[in-house]
Amino acid sequence: HDLVFPDGFNAATAFIDRHLTEGRGDKVAIRWRHGAVTYADLVAHVNRCANALTGSGLTRGDRILMIVKDCPAFFHVFWGAIKAGFVPVPVNTLLRGPDFAFMIENSECAALVSSVEFAAEVKAALEAAAHRPCTVIEVDETGACPLFESGPETFDAVPAGEDQDCFWLYSSGSTGRPKGAVHRQRDMVAASELYGRRTLGAREDDVFFSAAKLFFAYGLGNGMTFPLWVGGTAVLLDSRPTPDSTFATVETYRPTLFFGVPTLYAAQLQALEQAKPDLSSVRLCVSAGEALPADIFRRWKQRTGLTILDGIGSTEALHIFISNSEDDIRPGSSGRIVPGYEARILDEQDREVPPGEAGRLFIRGPSTARCYWRNPEKTAATMVGDWLNTGDTYYQDEDGYLFYSGRSDDMLKVGGIWCSPFEIEGALIEHPAVLEAAVVGRADGAGLVKPEAWIVLADSARPTDALREELQQHCKKALAPYKFPRDLHFIDELPKTATGKIQRFRLRQGQGLEE
């Protein structure tokens, strides 16, 4: 890659401070339902936050756990932390108390900043966690927070370096706890320039609206780093992205770029049978998180006239590394490698496979995470030299287009978000009616995977629809709500091998399994 970084590079200078010297102070950086934030306001709030965090006794490299909804305060805390030499760790706000408790302990965060909307789960997490952050701060519904309501509006960035730790993002695996992917100061620059500007074609006059939230690497790029990199405007939605809420946001704020996941595009297409929203401001749509079925691409084009660019990214790579582009689209494919990244598809003996043959996808590039925090085994399996093992199976055709053909683990992507079948099984088994449970992914009519549970009931329980409903509610309460099984099948016994291993492929095929 051709990116150059000055000695002592601090990412906040490139994404925040630069806008004042470039004369963008009066331009709107962020719009949402509680108002607009200009670039000058943004710089002032970031600096106040940097001062307040520095004054609260944190030391360099300390983690700041962020359980913050999409609102300007997310920007202020994230960049204030980086500018002051601390490490922000934004986490999935849909998770539950026990998940947050694990992250508090694992990160040993010195501070925790959370939106008031998540107060109940945060309280439970603080009570359960063995580690206690010394600073605990709440952001109110309008985005106000004591960290940046007062204090000096200037702050000199703490010198860092392009390869110094900058922020973390947790990524979940099929087994075990989430892993903190440690990203460096250069990573957001690399993703914003190589994918955001050069591949997607993001520009200063763009208005960005990401239905994917900022705590996902996908949303973090779409909704924050790309707009800040090109000096554009970000539009934030602080509620659940539904067809209604996303259409209303497009009509109100007239974004030029829209970022969604396949499940949302499918739901929007269904809603468009009735609704007639004005989408005329949008020039381009992007999809990631899971493969975009070619049929959704075609129907969206037919209905709206708009192109969806599918691209694959990951938390560990920070953003998209294989992508379609506006003048080079192959529906059903993830596209070509983004210039600046390299891809290798390997067989079981680590030899490169010929075109047309599927293998394990490895990538290399300037935005990949350094390691997983305090997890040498998972780090060694994933960060192999400077190559990243994506865990995906891909093949490349003769023309260089790359096609997704499954995962090499049991992980499911549901609405673009990771979902471990073992975690859902664990929640089901906690219910007294359940003796055994196995969860597999099943594609719905649009070709998108949803969790499906196969359950052996305890002797005392009867297989009724009421029990199905109860088990679904139980999962929604115990887990992040998107993880509940959409279908439940009761069976007499789970298909197993002679050694007692559940035969998931038989459940996936659903063959010969009497209910």
Binding site for ligand 3UK (CB under 6 A): 171, 217-218, 288-291, 310-315, 319-320, 334, 390-392, 404, 407, 413, 418
Which C-beta is closer to ligand 3UK: that of 147 or that of 312?
312
Which C-beta is closer to ligand 3UK: that of 83 or that of 319?
319
Which C-beta is closer to ligand 3UK: that of 238 or that of 290?
290
* Minimum gap (Å) between residue 411 Cβ and ligand 3UK: 7
* Minimum gap (Å) between residue 422 Cβ and ligand 3UK: 17
List all residues 6 or more positions away from 289 whose beta carbon is below 8 Å from its beta carbon.
212, 216, 218, 261, 262, 413, 415, 416, 417
Which C-beta is closer to ligand 3UK: that of 289 or that of 359?
289
What's the CA gap between 388 and 285, in Å, rounded?
Answer: 27
* Minimum gap (Å) between residue 171 Cβ and ligand 3UK: 5
Pair 138, 119: CB distance under 8 Å? yes
**Amino acid (one-letter) located at 445:** G
Angstrom CA distances, 65 to 86, 287, 367, 388, stand at: 11, 28, 21, 25
**Amino acid (one-letter) located at 334:** S
Which C-beta is closer to ligand 3UK: that of 80 or that of 289?
289
List all residues 6 or more positions away from 348 whose beta carbon is below 8 Å from its beta carbon.
none
What's the CA gap between 402 and 358, in Å, rounded?
Answer: 10
Angstrom CA distances, 139 to 52, 91, 113, stand at: 14, 15, 7
* Minimum gap (Å) between residue 182 Cβ and ligand 3UK: 14
What's the CA gap between 163 and 8, in Å, rounded?
Answer: 10
Pair 320, 333: CB distance under 8 Å? no
Which C-beta is closer to ligand 3UK: that of 171 or that of 325?
171
Residue at token pair 């995962």 = 407
* Minimum gap (Å) between residue 167 Cβ and ligand 3UK: 13
* Minimum gap (Å) between residue 202 Cβ and ligand 3UK: 14
Which C-beta is closer to ligand 3UK: that of 161 or that of 447?
447
* Minimum gap (Å) between residue 9 Cβ and ligand 3UK: 23
* Minimum gap (Å) between residue 370 Cβ and ligand 3UK: 16
Which C-beta is closer to ligand 3UK: that of 129 or that of 412?
412
Which C-beta is closer to ligand 3UK: that of 77 or that of 338?
338
What's the CA gap between 292 and 300, in Å, rounded?
Answer: 11
* Minimum gap (Å) between residue 318 Cβ and ligand 3UK: 7
Which C-beta is closer to ligand 3UK: that of 42 or that of 363?
363
**Amino acid (one-letter) located at 224:** M
What's the CA gap between 116 and 136, in Å, rounded?
Answer: 12
Paired tokens of 163: 């390869």
Length of the chain: 515
Residue nearest to ligand 3UK as judged by C-beta position? 313
Residue 336 phi, psi (nearest 5): -110, 165
Residue at token pair 């709030």 = 45
* Minimum gap (Å) between residue 38 Cβ and ligand 3UK: 28
Angstrom CA distances, 255 to 208, 220, 233, 316, 462, stand at: 6, 17, 9, 28, 52
CB atoms < 10 A from the CB of 423, how many?
21
